A and B are shown apart, each in its own frame.
Chain A
């Protein structure tokens, strides 16, 4: 595997007023891997994600995407880089005035010169991949269920075939079967398109099934990162409670060999 770092975060400090959320945090995401970020609820996972995407201002540190530093890059360069990223927001963030298909078509319409027919076909294909039927594609976000909104939002995040995808709790709100399909889909796309995935998740199944590496965020720092075996071997009390707690069932022994 190519180990070039697509995302490189160094000594990142992010805070709100007098509260420091991320404290000199460093993290690398390598090309072609699926990195799962775990941490306590309210522990700053989404803050890290938003800081990397550029939605939150940082106080200190350096963030580079595709080897380009956000602070020194020209706005046009950053825009071109943002095109290579797809983001799935926690609540979906679909545009309510467009129907589901139009939501997926929207980024294609803005950035690509496609015939209308191909645009429609690709949009329906992406929606089909996430399990939304042609019929449901004509519905408006208000008419979709929570799980369907999430799937539609993933389809939109994947609209431009991005190289790097940020997923904020992608499988929450999906039933276990759909969540499993979702994992498989992320894996398929990751393999075929050389996708790099940065995902914030609480879903242990996804962590075990598809993540190449896992990073654990506690007290504003990444305390451990590596393959699942390494995380399971970690003796930090929070990590132990998370991966070997009541809700983990009998996973650990099976997981000796990760999927790839």
Chain B
């Protein structure tokens, strides 16, 4: 005898269940149940369960699926349920009736399109968040300028020390090495057609216009941007930011403004030091590898670069600092309860700010080319 026997009589469908309705048998039971559900669609269902020997939650779920199969919305009331199974079936029935239907499964064929759509919407939202944060910072800055007592000098100086002063050694080291490498490559390749001396022009212009500020901004995004995000994120997790709100203080003014202002002040200074260090590294390589004495290097450098090159580089620094600061802070405030989300937002913050810094650099390059600088 099959565990599920059905007999159609007119508008009625009689189903008799028997045997063991447990997890181990669901492979056999589920297709039978599905077939019966199709049969029962517009019929009146009668369920007889007196021959069921054992049942567990898995079986009870299948019985429930049968009982709710009728499209008229009338549920079949199983009869002949052995006493000891009543409690479980009643419980499963109660739960499934109380539950909302499962959210529809996403169609795989549209998943790609959906993810593109979501990514687009998210990019749009990111832009809105960015502009919002820019506005809030501007608002806070205006408030502080109108009432300078609201400025938090200790916080500002502490942040300046952290993102500026403490970053100097590593910035010096990295830019020194980059300057040296550019110089070496320039000498090596230019020498082949007798233009080895022009490596000085290469180093000077490249470092002052592009590489100096770019390297420094990327370093700062990785070093200070990530720490801003992690810091603000863990403050958010521990409800410290909510605590500030309840005291009537604006977190943007108290926490974000000093950080962003410190970054805007520190980045041009770091760029300046970084560029000098890169020129120094380039000069050393010229001396030892290219055989050009330092005096000549400086002389050639004077001819090769003008103050314009320096200005083009340094003018970009505060804007890059602003981008890094806004991204770092807004990602930090997006952290939710879990440690995982803190890690995720920190990664996002660094990736996003480096990307935006490079994009910004490209835009500036187009702008300066346009105005002929």
* Interface membership of A147, Cβ < 8 A: no
Is A191 touching B87 in the complex (CB atoms < 8 A)? yes
Among the stretches A10-18, A45-53, A116-124, A220-228, the one at the interface with B is A116-124
Is A125 touching B61 in the complex (CB atoms < 8 A)? yes
Asked, given contacts A118-B58, A188-B88, A191-B84, whether A124 binds B23 with beta carbons under 8 Å apart, the answer is no
Is A121 touching B65 in the complex (CB atoms < 8 A)? yes
Asked, given contacts A114-B26, A118-B30, A192-B88, whether A128 binds B95 with beta carbons under 8 Å apart, the answer is yes
Question: Hey, which chain A residues are within 8 Å of B88, CB to CB?
Answer: 188-189, 192-193
* Interface membership of A143, Cβ < 8 A: yes
Closest to A192 in B: B88
Q: Given A135, A140, A161, which contacts B58 in the complex, CB threshold below 8 Å? A: A161
* Interface membership of A77, Cβ < 8 A: no
Question: Hey, which chain A residues are within 8 Å of B61, CB to CB?
Answer: 118, 121-122, 125
Asked, given contacts A118-B58, A124-B102, whether A161 binds B23 with beta carbons under 8 Å apart, the answer is yes
Query: Given the complex of chains A and B, what is the CA–CA distance between A43 and B71 in angstroms?
Result: 58
Q: What is the size category of the interface that chain A forms with chain B?
A: 20 to 34
Is B99 touching A124 in the complex (CB atoms < 8 A)? yes
* Distance to closest chain A CB from B34 (angstroms): 9
* Interface membership of A248, Cβ < 8 A: no
Asked, given contacts A129-B95, A135-B100, whether A122 binds B58 with beta carbons under 8 Å apart, the answer is yes
Question: Hey, which chain A residues are within 8 Å of B23, CB to CB?
Answer: 108, 112, 114, 160-161
Is B95 touching A134 in the complex (CB atoms < 8 A)? no
Is B30 touching A142 in the complex (CB atoms < 8 A)? no
The contact string, 1 if C-beta is below 8 Å from chain A, for chain B 86-103, is 111001100110111111
Asked, given contacts A118-B58, A192-B85, whether A134 binds B102 with beta carbons under 8 Å apart, the answer is yes
Q: What is the size category of the interface that chain B forms with chain A?
A: 20 to 34
Q: How many A-B residue pairs have CB under 8 A?
A: 85
* Distance to closest chain A CB from B27 (angstroms): 6
* Distance to closest chain A CB from B139 (angstroms): 33
* Distance to closest chain B CB from A188 (angstroms): 5
Question: Hey, which chain A residues are within 8 Å of B109, CB to CB?
Answer: none
* Distance to closest chain B CB from A247 (angstroms): 31
* Interface membership of A30, Cβ < 8 A: no
Closest to B337 in A: A142
Closest to A128 in B: B95
* Interface membership of B340, Cβ < 8 A: yes
Is A142 touching B338 in the complex (CB atoms < 8 A)? yes
* Distance to closest chain B CB from A9 (angstroms): 28
Closest to B60 in A: A125
Is B102 touching A96 in the complex (CB atoms < 8 A)? no
Query: Given the complex of chains A and B, what is the CA–CA distance between A113 and B95 in angstroms?
Result: 23
* Interface membership of A126, Cβ < 8 A: yes
Question: Hey, which chain B residues are within 8 Å of A140, CB to CB?
Answer: 338
Binding site for B on A (CB under 8 A): 96-97, 108, 112-115, 118, 120-122, 124-126, 128-129, 133-135, 138, 140, 142-143, 158, 160-161, 185, 188-189, 191-193
A sample of 23 cross-chain residue pairs with beta-carbon separation below 8 angstroms, ordered by A number, consists of: A96-B338, A113-B26, A113-B27, A114-B23, A118-B62, A120-B102, A122-B57, A122-B61, A125-B57, A125-B96, A125-B99, A128-B96, A128-B99, A129-B91, A129-B95, A133-B100, A134-B101, A140-B338, A161-B22, A185-B91, A188-B87, A192-B84, A193-B56
Which 8 residue pairs across A and B have the least CB separation, nearest first? A128-B95, A192-B88, A142-B338, A161-B56, A192-B87, A188-B87, A134-B100, A121-B61
